[in-house]
Structure 1
Amino acid sequence: MTSTMPSPASATALTPTSSAAEPTTLPAILGTYKRQAPLFVRGEGVHMIDESGKRYLDFVAGIAVSSLGHADAGVMQAMQEAMATGLIHTSNLYRTAPGEALASWLVAHSFASSVFFSNSGAEANEGAFKFARRWAKSTGHQAKHEIIALRGSFHGRMPGTLAATDRPAYRLPFRPLMGGVTIVERNLEELRAVLDPETAAAVIVEPIQGEGGVRIVEPEFLRGLRELTRERNVLLILDEIQCGLGRTGSFFAYEQLGFEPDMLTIAKPLANGLPMGAILVNDTVARVMQPGDHGTTFGGGPLLAHVAHHVVQRLADPALLQHVRETGAWFGEQLQAIADRTGAVRAIRGTGLMWGMDVHEPAAAIIARAFDQGLLLVSAGEHTLRFLPPLVISREELAKGLAILEGAIKA
């Protein structure tokens, strides 16, 4: 009998070697993020505060999450109301009033006939892929399973969503990824060649590609894609995880496009910082889903659902949406003015309170200098600054941040 145990030499080869440059003690939190050094301890409105008391103006909002800002009185009250019931978790084996109220509200204010709650945006997209394949099999085409994504896309870091994410550096260490997923150019002719009614189940697209550089996908292209997917009997999934829920100046980004998707995924600001996502599905998809087809232990729990119900009503307020549209247009003008004055900017893109600025030097250098001056920024690629402030931010607060930004660019 031949042993399959590695020899001492091969065992040594499988063991990572240590280096004098490596720390002797690893951080308690796994090092998958390069975190800033200060320890943040409080939040107030559009500011975060570190342990020394230094205040930072927040142009990140937890990556488009804290749309109502930090320590919002209404959100805090909603959390207290939910906790006062003592019903924090029930699992999805049982009905709860908050979950049903939130789902009913989302259905009443969208194209959807049903909602599935998840814990995050990546989970929402993974679920949408499953729903698409479940629907596809119901059409009688057993080979109908392919998911199509677009160049520049970002849909998550889980096995399926990573396969649909056009970031080679994210994908390479984890290959092979989930099969049956194809990334194509943002071109209708190429999509016509790929969307075989016998094999294609769904196309997923972000109306604004956030991680891909804050790139607005042309409305004409999206309308053509909607027509093509209907023609080929393929589902259209819109990923509004970053650009939805008020960020563009309408509650859903698709409201500005003149058509409805078959599925819509949302997450980030849904509960203003509490972990929650959702998949909104139309009647066609909802009717094929059966008990046991998908599940979640925590998704849509009563605490989160109660808070999210409060948040969505606030984010759908016409006055807030008008503020986002008007303030966002002004903000874009100010970014262009900075570009004109500094000569250090290649391009400005965006809408509402979601903007990108392409800069000549690495974005990380500008982010670091702005951080030192009390402004929080995030990138969307090596040379792109991304601006995602809380939707409640004022022009005065934006102006303060813009002054810091311009100084960091000039430095």
Structure 2
Amino acid sequence: MICNSWKRSFSSSVRAKTSNLLGLYPQPPITFTHGTKSTLFDTANKKYLDFNSGIAVNALGHNDPDVVEAIRDQAGKLIHLSNLYRNEYGDKCATMLVNGLVGTDDFRKKWWGEADNCKVFFCNSGTEANEAAIKFARKMARIRNAESPATGILSFSNAFHGRSMGALSATPNLKYQAPFAPLVPGFSTSPYNDIAALDAVDWNSICGVILEPMQGEGGVFPVKPEFLKALRARCDSVGAMLIFDEIQCGVGRSGKMYMHQWGTVCPDILSLAKPLANGLPMGAVVLRETVAKNIKPGDHGTTFGGGPLATRVACVVLEKVGKPEFLKHVETVSALLFERLHALHAKYPSIIKEVRGKGLLVGLELQGGAIASRFVELCLLHGDVLVISAGSNTVRMAPPLVITEDEIKYACSIFDKVAGVLEAEVKK
């Protein structure tokens, strides 16, 4: 077992220097000052390759000129109104989100209904988006049966849906839940990607099912298409809402605009956040026509969500990411990354257990005494490459979607070196 000295030393260093910050995050003793595309710079102007992009947030990388110009111009015009008034970019941004979902595919057009009748709720984070989705699912249950509505929400093992009380209740990880019990009642969990286990669910009590089409925090696990089909059928049988949490895997990250577009199963409710405004706090919930028509004024709200600054920047992101050539680039660099990582898997089978993911959300699961946090440390020490860990002893890679092939090759050369160091350390 490798001692995680990096976390201890870095965490204590940060606490000493920033004593007024609540110490919720172990951080390396580096202060970043600026960035460009996939590169970050610290106070000494040292370069780092960002293979994390703010936990899959900075889809266009750092200092994108169109994002910067939109922020600069909008900040000089109007930043906040509240939702008591319309702003110039809210409707435009919502239309772009809906059009990206409906597209030109006849099946998707039929599913979502008329594009004008799909609706979007803007908020400030992924957690808020999931809280809204849960509320909307329960509201729909009351529409179906006002006297005795189902109120249960089903989520899945290894899920991560947020840290507020409702979203936390759908995140079945004792590390996150235990300090804050009791949780919101009515939540249950089933094994991810296990169709047979769905037979044990009391479906008559379920009003909503929430899952990530590709889990991020839980260890980068893509959903199996047959599992989604089984879920869709079970939800339809009882009128439950199927909620896709694409907060980390949506908006181009998978190589399509939305992760679920790789298959033929659509949700009733879609939650989005991280990359929407390329670093400005923003979340969104997209409601299918059959759901949207039942959500009325006063059912939910937000003060800051959908403001003119965030929605203007989101329009820039959606326009750029939605271009076919942009998504093709994601597929191209993704193929290169997977090719190099599978080669490392073959080279270090005692250290690397599995390579998982889709597009530019990739998990490298370790084994044999190698620890993901040590891999993260060594990437920083040996090559100034920033990666992060996820559940199940997995190194998570989520570089900006504008990452280049040369940057992919460099990062993988560092991963090769790090795997060799880990192999040597484990053998000692």
User: TM-score when scaled to structure 2?
Assistant: 0.88
Does residue 369 of structure 2 align to residue 359 of structure 1?
Answer: no
Q: Which moved more, 1:58-67 or 1:187-196?
A: 187-196
1:26 Cα deviation after fit = 7.3
The structural deviation recorded for 1:143 is 3.3
Task: Map residues 85-104 of structure 1 onto 2, 5 A cutoff.
Answer: 85=77, 87-104=78-95
More displaced 10-residue stretch of structure 1: 60-69 or 72-81: 72-81
| Rg comparison, structure with higher value | 1
Q: Report how many residues are paired.
A: 387
Whichever residue aligns with residue 348 of structure 1, its letter is V
Contact 1:362 1:382 in 2 (8 A): no
**Number of the residue aligned with 1:106:** 97
Residue 166 of structure 1: aligned partner: 172
Contact 1:192 1:228 in 2 (8 A): no
Superimposed CA distance per residue, residues 51-89 of structure 1 (whole angstroms, 9 cap, x where no aligned partner): 11111100000000001000011111111231232x100
Cα distance, 1:348–1:25 mapped onto 2, change above 3 Å: closer
Instruction: Tell me if 1:310 matches 2:320.
Output: no
The whole-number CA distance in structure 2 between the counterparts of 1:29 and 1:209 is: 30
User: Match for residue 50 of structure 2?
Assistant: 58
Q: Which of the residues 319, 323, 327 maps onto 2:329?
A: 323
When normalised by structure 1's length, the TM-score is 0.91
The answer for the alignment partner of 1:234 in structure 2 is 240
Q: In the alignment, which of 128, 131, 141 is matched to residue 133 of structure 2?
A: 128
1:118 lines up with 2:120 in the alignment: no
In structure 1, the residue matched to 2:307 is: 301
Answer 1 or 2: which has greater helix percent.
2
Query: Counterparts of 1:350 and 1:101 in 2: how far apart (Å)?
Result: 32
On the 8 A contact 1:195/1:232 being kept in 2, the answer is: no
Offset, 1:196: 2.6
SS at match of 2:342: helix
Give the Å deviation of 1:239. 0.4
Q: Residue 74 of structure 1 corresponds to which residue in structure 2?
A: 66
Structure 1: segments with no counterpart, 5+ residues: 1-22
Q: Which residue in the other structure is 1:225 paired with?
A: 231
Mapped contact 1:329–1:351 kept (Cα < 8 A): no
> Equivalent residue for 1:400?
410
SS for the counterpart of 2:101 is coil
Query: 1:248 is matched with which residue: 254, 263, 268?
Result: 254
Aligned to 1:12: none
Contact in 1 for aligned 2:276/2:282 (Cα 8 Å) = yes
Corresponding residue SS for 1:123: helix
Map 1:380-399 onto structure 2 (within 5 A). Answer: 380-381=390-391, 383-399=393-409
- Partners of 2:17 and 2:389 lie apart in 1 by 29
Structure 2 portions without partners, runs of 5+: 1-14, 103-111, 113-117, 422-428
After superposition, the C-alpha distances for 1:162-220 in whole angstroms (9 at most, x for unaligned) are 111122211111111111111112333432442433x2111001011111110111011
CA contact (8 A) 2:53 2:59 kept: yes
Deviation at residue 402 of structure 1 after TM alignment: 1.0
Pairwise CA distance, 1:24: 8.9
Q: Which of these residues, 145, 148, 166, is aligned with residue 140 of structure 1?
A: 145
